[in-house]
Amino acid sequence: MKQSRLFEKTRREAPAEGEAENARLLTRAGFIHKELAGVYTFLPLGLKVLRKIEHIIRQEMGALGAEEMRLTVLQDRGVWEKTGRWSDQAVDNWFKTKVRGGGEAGLGFTHEEPLTRLMTGHIRSWRDLPVFVYQIQTKFRNEERARSGLLRGREFLMKDLYSFCRSREEHEEFYGKVKQSYLRIFDKAGLSGKVAVTLASGGSFSKHSHEFQVPAEAGEDTIHVCEKCGTGVNDEIKSETAVCPECGGGSFKKRKAIEVGNIFSLGTRFSEALGLSFDDESGRAKSAVMGSYGIGVSRLMGTVAELFYDQKGVIWPPALAPFDVHLLEVGGGAETRRRAEEIYKELLAHDLEVLHDDREARAGEKFADADLIGVPWRVIVGEKSGQEGELEVERRGEKSSMMPLSKFVRAAKSGQSHV
């Protein structure tokens, strides 16, 4: 991509006071545009980051044997009334709209009900199970307060996975696999060692559900992290026990945290309410055992921005960066331009995503914009950039050095997560 062709430009001025850090950083760098509170447009750079996250998620969902689908955003009032979740008393963050010709529809905030109803036409026998399906789709929640940028949106992107199993034992086996899959997703997204698997109430079906919390001052949740094993517990669990449910340790550290994912055992609540049953091997009718598993895709992007930045801008983990390499053409002159174009083509030929700053601008402006955008590797091309076959390269916060092209390509590709 030629930077001169990017229609969205970086901004020197910060957004209005009161914005969350992730919103300020991503707005200044040209990744997002605020439409209204809790509602953001993802500009080309921001969309590239979202696609990197989606790619990581799809890889892991495929490894679980889950199939991707897409359910409707508009929701049928009748199916939600069967589970008691249409009323504003039961769910206080619905967006609802009148339908011409009469009636109401809702904008989906989750999809247990419509998917369970859909499955009644596909699941008849024990041979049809288990079923694992997921989607990556826009969700809507009428949040009372949406002041945390991408961390709490009224319109946001979510990955939701649902499982339908023959027994609780089969469900628990899959639940454990999803738990490990989520940890791999967050590791690949640059959050290795930063996610606390946090125990929460599991309701009547199971002892616990699990939240995936990232300790951060920007977080709106409060968790208690075991200082012995790193497991988190939420306030409800902490009030019931003085020791860690995982390791028996008794020392906790109270932390603010951002929830980036959660997994729930649903039992047969929805399958019973919506008539999803199957015949077992003996011909007896049984209700499918269900689970749901969510990851906030756009929230994960905002979380990474909250964690990895300095006073100059975002510092993207390599797997999420919109480009692998930011090629800075500085100093001007025909020879510099020729050399930069040559290097640009060589890097593209090695399957690297490159943002080429080919603008007629001062070197200081180019370096400042590169800091804002946060691509992990830079290649600098100027009048004194070295001999043919060598590149002047640098990582954020480090001094530049000379490196052979082949060595640089290996280093730059080591963190890729291409779509």
Res 416: pLDDT:
67
Residue (of 188, 186, 159, 162) closest to 175 by Cα position: 162
Res 18: pLDDT:
63
241-275 pLDDT, tens digit per residue, is 889 988 998 899 999 999 999 999 999 999 999 99
Instruction: Give the residue-averaged pLDDT of 170-182.
Output: 98
Res 204: pLDDT:
62
**Is 80 exceeded by the pLDDT of residue 419?**
no
Instruction: Give the residue-averaged pLDDT of 140-165.
Output: 95
349-366 pLDDT, tens digit per residue, is 999 999 999 998 999 999
Give this prediction's pTM.
Answer: 0.94
Helices (H) and strands (E) in the chain, counts: 11, 23
- CA dist 410 and 227 (Å) reads 38
Same fold, 3-310 and 323-413: no
The CA-CA-CA angle for residues 21, 26, 27, to 5°, reads: 100
Q: 323-413, which class in CATH? A: alpha beta
Task: Tell me the sheet residues that pair with 402.
Answer: 392
47-97 pLDDT, tens digit per residue, is 999 999 999 999 999 999 999 999 999 999 999 999 999 999 999 999 999
Res 417: pLDDT:
58
Res 397: pLDDT:
78
For the chain, the structural domain boundaries read: 3-310, 323-413
Q: 3-310, which class in CATH? A: alpha beta
1-35 pLDDT, tens digit per residue, is 898 998 888 887 777 766 899 999 999 999 999 99
Question: What is the percent of the chain with per-residue pLDDT over 70, rounded to a whole number?
Answer: 96
